[in-house]
Chains A and B, each alone.
Chain A
């Protein structure tokens, strides 16, 4: 009896540990803040408040497609991913390339003749296309520098700030 009781307790404890581990793992994998710094040459890094955006949306799939295992309702995607399981990597950068048009990326795309997703936007594009669309609809910040301040190099690039032209010159007029 005692031994049996011990065994039940043991199994229960093991289950509890497994559940805790699973919860903990999930908590670790869902970062509350994400630093976006791929444009750090021209712009200061962006501290993306992931937690706040999770609260604002109903469904992880709004941004993460089918990768979090919640399935997808998009008619086009559902042909293959209606009941797809969660993927091991869900970060945007895991699929969307930082340099989508580099000679290397173009060559790899060219060699993979079975590739279905031939029109997959790059990382910078998915941030802007996805963020800006929602921000404009929901009244979030939508100006370039509302999200990321320009660096000194950035100002030089745009001829803005202290690099702004002194006065209007005579341009050539067709």
Chain B
């Protein structure tokens, strides 16, 4: 009696768990096409307008209450600063959530200035990599984080394709991840533009709904085909970013990574992650089944055909 019902039970378990796993895989794959919140805001950065005044850096510093800079914000000598033996221009750090760098294009034309900050991805790699769920993508489009739950693993720093999150290495007791939050707490949540956008004298930064910014970007390219590279950086990169860029020189010449994939970073791990519950659910059941079958076979050798009794019982 025991043998058959156990067999049925095992079969049901395997089928059930397989069904669960398949359903959840379908659900996970269905998320591949997430294109950001419909009401998500963004910023279109037009590199052709930037004159390198660094007002955005000053505004960010004051808005976020960051420490005083090493040099005044109107000092252009920072554009000559390099790190790692000249291979690295200035990057965002715990004291500066945005920085402007100067690039001299290959054709020997006017220098081009490029502002960097968090690009507020539609499907942020920092968020998906964080195992304590410190990051949130808000419906307004900002990627914010809760530093109180951060354990300082710095996986997000590795995961970010734009190398934006910085770590407060200077703090011995409470080091935290720090990055641009789109001025979410003080401005974006109330519908207002971030401080850098508001202060920019040249409207290098256009704030608006992401879906409208894409239209504006392509319209500018259409109207001035000789001026712009026919590409909107960030429209598709890593699944789309909230901040997008227009340029008059090839993007790779002004520090952009043009080798990034179009799919969200998470997609690289999605198929693998989908097999994890399958292994977790099926393997224990399968091997338990093998174990029971072999144990039962062993016992069947001893007992006097208990299977027949049991069939009679079931009827």
B154 interfacial by beta-carbon distance below 8 Å? no
In the complex, which residue of chain A has the Cβ closest to the Cβ of B163? A174
**Do residues A122 and B203 form an inter-chain contact, with CB atoms below 8 A?**
yes
In the complex, what distance in Å separates the CA atom of A157 from the CA atom of B58?
Answer: 6
A14 interfacial by beta-carbon distance below 8 Å? no
- Which A residues lie within 8 Å of B209 (CB)? 106, 110
A56 interfacial by beta-carbon distance below 8 Å? no
Residues 82-132 (chain A) with a chain B CB within 8 angstroms: 100-103, 106-107, 109-110, 118-119, 121-122, 124-125, 128-129, 132
A146 interfacial by beta-carbon distance below 8 Å? no
A172 interfacial by beta-carbon distance below 8 Å? yes
- Which A residues lie within 8 Å of B169 (CB)? 172
Given that A101-B197, A101-B207 are known contacts, is A164 also in contact with B72, CB under 8 Å in the complex? yes
> Which of A107, A124, A159 has the most chain B CB atoms closer than 10 A to its own CB?
A159
- Which A residues lie within 8 Å of B59 (CB)? 157
In the complex, what distance in Å separates the CA atom of A171 from the CA atom of B83?
Answer: 12
> Which of B53, B59, B71 has the most chain A CB atoms closer than 10 A to its own CB?
B71
- Which A residues lie within 8 Å of B53 (CB)? 144
**Do residues B95 and A172 form an inter-chain contact, with CB atoms below 8 A?**
yes
Given that A172-B93, A172-B170 are known contacts, is A103 also in contact with B202, CB under 8 Å in the complex? no
> Which of A76, A160, A172 has the most chain B CB atoms closer than 10 A to its own CB?
A172
In the complex, what distance in Å separates the CA atom of A70 from the CA atom of B223?
Answer: 23
A158 interfacial by beta-carbon distance below 8 Å? yes
A31 interfacial by beta-carbon distance below 8 Å? no
In the complex, what distance in Å separates the CA atom of A9 from the CA atom of B191?
Answer: 65
**Do residues B58 and A106 form an inter-chain contact, with CB atoms below 8 A?**
no
- Size of chain A's interface in residues, with CB distance under 8 A? 32
**Do residues B208 and A174 form an inter-chain contact, with CB atoms below 8 A?**
no
B193 interfacial by beta-carbon distance below 8 Å? yes
CB 8 Å contact bits of B267-285 with A (1 = contact, 0 = none):
0000000000000000000
A173 interfacial by beta-carbon distance below 8 Å? yes
Minimal beta-carbon separation of A156 from chain B (angstroms): 9
**Do residues B203 and A118 form an inter-chain contact, with CB atoms below 8 A?**
no
- Which B residues lie within 8 Å of A144 (CB)? 53, 74, 201
In the complex, what distance in Å separates the CA atom of A158 from the CA atom of B298?
Answer: 84
- Which B residues lie within 8 Å of A129 (CB)? 49, 202-203
Minimal beta-carbon separation of A63 from chain B (angstroms): 17
**Do residues B202 and A174 form an inter-chain contact, with CB atoms below 8 A?**
no
- Which A residues lie within 8 Å of B2 (CB)? none
Minimal beta-carbon separation of A120 from chain B (angstroms): 10
- Which B residues lie within 8 Å of A4 (CB)? none
A139 interfacial by beta-carbon distance below 8 Å? no
- Which B residues lie within 8 Å of A160 (CB)? 72-74
- Which A residues lie within 8 Å of B70 (CB)? 165, 168-169, 171
In the complex, which residue of chain B has the Cβ closest to the Cβ of A155? B72
In the complex, what distance in Å separates the CA atom of A157 from the CA atom of B94?
Answer: 19
In the complex, what distance in Å separates the CA atom of A168 from the CA atom of B169?
Answer: 19
Minimal beta-carbon separation of A138 from chain B (angstroms): 17
Minimal beta-carbon separation of A74 from chain B (angstroms): 10
Given that A118-B219, A168-B70, A174-B83 are known contacts, is A125 also in contact with B203, CB under 8 Å in the complex? yes
Minimal beta-carbon separation of B165 from chain A (angstroms): 12
Interface contacts beyond A101-B198, A169-B70, A172-B166: sample of 8 additional A-B pairs, CB < 8 Å, sorted by A: A103-B192, A106-B207, A121-B203, A157-B62, A159-B68, A160-B72, A172-B93, A174-B91
Binding site for B on A (CB under 8 A): 76, 100-103, 106-107, 109-110, 118-119, 121-122, 124-125, 128-129, 132, 144, 157-160, 163-165, 168-169, 171-174
21 contacts between A and B (CB under 8 A): A101-B192, A101-B198, A103-B191, A109-B208, A110-B209, A119-B219, A124-B201, A125-B200, A125-B201, A144-B53, A144-B201, A158-B55, A158-B72, A159-B73, A160-B74, A165-B70, A168-B71, A172-B94, A172-B95, A174-B83, A174-B91
Q: Which 7 A-B pairs have the closest CB atoms?
A: A103-B191, A125-B203, A101-B193, A101-B207, A160-B72, A158-B73, A128-B201
